[in-house]
Amino acid sequence: MSLEVMVVKKEEGVFVVSPTGSIDSDTYLVLEKEVEALLENRPKVVIFDMRGVHYISSSGLGVVFKTKKVLGQNQGKVYLVNLTPPVKKVFDVVNALPEQEVFASVEELDNYLDKIQSEEN
């Protein structure tokens, strides 16, 4: 199965990466290439919108974790939204992401970020 990846700038420093298809050992390089190009822009936030992904392998997980590591070095954040049940189960099994970094939708993430910012003021 093929993989398509769309990257959209949501606002300054915030990008949404939307893969569609299976992220496996044959296709993860498509995602990795798009993410590496994005990381050159030094984003503060990368949101992986996973609604179009029904399968993710360890290679795909590696791309997400690498993104998290690179952004973390500059106090950036990675969030995952719209995880399909099979993909959510993979993340649950590897227990790799804190619960506050996984959201049901972009709107839920926006509400969370708004709340954090209003608490700091």
For the cut 70, the answer to whether the pLDDT of residue 114 exceeds it is no
For the cut 60, the answer to whether the pLDDT of residue 116 exceeds it is no
- Locus of tokens 């959209």: 8
Q: What is the pLDDT of residues 69-97, one digit of tens each?
A: 999 998 999 999 999 988 887 877 666 55
Cβ 89 vs Cβ 57: under 8 Å = no
Predicted model pTM? 0.80
Domains of the chain, CATH where assigned? 3-120 (3.30.750.24)
Q: Which residue has the higher pLDDT, 117 or 47?
A: 47
In angstroms, rounded to a whole number, what is the distance separating the alpha carbons of residues 81 and 18? 10
Query: How far, CA to CA in Å, does 12 sit from each of 43, 52, 57, 62, 111?
Result: 8, 25, 31, 26, 18
